[in-house]
Structure formats: C-alpha cells, structure tokens
Amino acid sequence: MIDTVIFDLGGVIVNIDRDCSVKAFQALGLKDAGTYLDPYHQSGIFLELEDGRLDADEFCERLGQLCGRPVSFLQAQEAWMGFISGVPGERLAYVESLRKDYQVCLLSNTNPFIMEWARSPRFTNAGRALDDYFDHLFLSYRMRCVKPHRKIFRDVIDTLGVKPEHILFVDDGPANIETAKGMGFLTFMPVNGSNWIPDVQKVLANAVISRNRDR
C-alpha cells in the first residue's frame, strides 16, 4: 500500500534550465562553470554546497576565489536561480491535493540560495512558500548527503518511519531512481518540463488496484 509520495524539486516540481545557470556563473567570471554544474549532480564547490560541507558564505568566498573577484550572496543566488525556468501552478495544486490521502514529501539536492527563494512568498505568484505544499522537506545541504547515495534515502525512511515499499518516489534523475528502486521504493521518472500528473495518477491508481487484489 502506498501511503507516502516523495517528489524531487528540480525537473519535477519546477522546470530547470542548466544552460541558463551556467551562463550566469560564467558572467560572474567562472569560465568553466559547465564542468561544475549538472542537471542532476554537481561537482567541486557546487557539490560541497549541496552536501552541506560549505555554507552560503563559504561558497561565496570560494566562488570569488575561482572568479577572481568578490561574489555576494545575491550575485551567487541570481546565478543559481538561472536553473529555475518555471514553477507550474498545476503541479503544486496537484501535490497539495494528494495530501488528503497521502503523506507528501520533497527530497531535493539543493542549497541555501535556492531555498531562500523557494521557502519564501516569492516562490509562487500567489505568495505561497514551498513549505505550504509538503508535509516534510528533505534538503540535501541540511541532511549533509546528496542523492543518489543510499544514506539519504535511508535517513528519509528512518525519519518518516515508513517502509520503502509504501513510498512512491518521483524523480527525473536516472541514478536517483535506480538507487530508490534498489531499496524497494515504487518509482516514476518524468521528463523535465513534461506534464507528469496523469502518469502519477495512473501509478497511484494501479497501486490501489494491486493492494485490493492482494487482500
């Protein structure tokens, strides 16, 4: 029986555009930004930020060293925000509707710059923050671990007190899906920018049918 649904943020809840962010960091002076930034898994200081080894101030300092110029929080945030190309309201409405029947969570490889925006009223045109739509937010930089490591999934399971087979995990990263599936999660992998709502509805409906057959 599925009683918990866990969503990724970038590429699932919000649309992403890696190239726009790469160009923004290049404009700050990080000419090889494309070697650090990936739609699913960062590297170098970008990974160290998302797995909690660097805080926002330390990241700005290290980024400034790489760029050869001081970089402020707002400048770094603007470059990170290049990743976000849209926040479709229909997805948020659907996620919120699921909370009537499921525990709904977010599990994201993310950082303080994105979250300062997402967890504020600036997140939506309606003035609602990301927190308004989920029962729990699991954020990599706070958990000090990133997907696809098994540890972050294990920490989520332990915190929620839910068995993996009772969880639907929705993520657009192949490696993240592979790890979750190997641990027993039911999974679905949408394409960034696609309307995945009908597909998730079908997955959940099939899970209910399967449960009834097993009774």
Q: What CATH code is carried by the domain that includes residue 197?
A: 3.40.50.1000
Domain count, the chain: 2
| N- to C-terminal Cα separation, the chain | 11
Q: Domain residues for 39?
A: 16-83
92 with 198, same domain: the answer is yes
pLDDT (tens digit, 9 = 90+) per residue, 53-85?
999 999 999 999 999 999 999 999 999 999 999
179 with 110, same domain: the answer is yes
98 with 77, same domain: the answer is no
Active site residues: 8
| Tens-binned pLDDT, residue by residue, of the chain (215 aa) | 999 999 999 999 999 999 999 999 999 999 999 999 987 789 999 999 999 999 999 999 999 999 999 999 999 999 999 999 999 999 999 999 999 999 999 999 999 999 999 999 999 999 999 999 999 999 999 999 999 999 999 999 999 999 999 999 999 999 999 999 999 999 999 998 899 999 999 999 999 866 555 55
d(CA 212, CA 185): 19
d(CA 36, CA 33): 5
Residue 58 half-sphere exposure toward CB, CA atoms < 13 A? 11
133 with 107, same domain: the answer is yes
73 with 117, same domain: the answer is no
d(CA 200, CA 185): 14
